[in-house]
Structure 1
Amino acid sequence: MASKKSFALRIDPKLYEALERWADDELRSVNGHLEFLLREAVARAGRLPGPKASVPKEKPEASQQEE
């Protein structure tokens, strides 16, 4: 397995609690979910090295049709 960079992260406790709940909903650890979110943001910004990574697009909202 490739090694990963470790670093300390200071974060607001309320934000951490929200991330913890979100990570639980996604069946991830907080660390894994933070990495997922950061990777997605970096890919969207076009800042990942190498070939362009595909980033999942947001689900389109259901359009409401007038009847």
Structure 2
Amino acid sequence: MPAKKAFALRLDEKMMQAVEKWAADEFRSTNGQIEWIIHEALKKAGRSPKERNNQS
């Protein structure tokens, strides 16, 4: 399993509340939801590390 890097993320209070609700609706932690959102955005943009390895 790859190492995870911790960092601070500042979000507007209303945006954070929306992410927390979305996470609860999908039975994920807030952190897990944010990771999932970033993963999906990277995949959609063709910038996912796994996709890049397959394209090389």
Q: Give the shorter-chain TM-score range.
A: 0.7 to 0.9
Uncovered stretches (5+) of structure 2, i.e. residues with no partner? none
TM-score normalised to structure 1 length: 0.71
Code of the residue aligned with 1:29 in structure 2: it is S
Calculate the aligned-residue CA RMSD, in Å: 1.3
Displaced runs of 4+ in structure 1, greater than 3 A? none
Residue 9 of structure 1 and its aligned partner are, at CA, apart by 0.4
Larger of the two Rg values belongs to structure: 1
**Separation (CA, whole Å) in 1 of partners of 2:30 and 2:38:** 12
**Between Structure 1 and Structure 2, which shows a larger proportion of helix residues?**
2
Task: Give me the identity figure in percent.
Answer: 50
Aligned residue pair count? 52
Q: How do residues 1-67 of structure 1 correspond to structure 2 at under 5 angstroms?
A: 1-49=1-49, 50-51=53-54
TM-score, normalising length: structure 2: 0.83
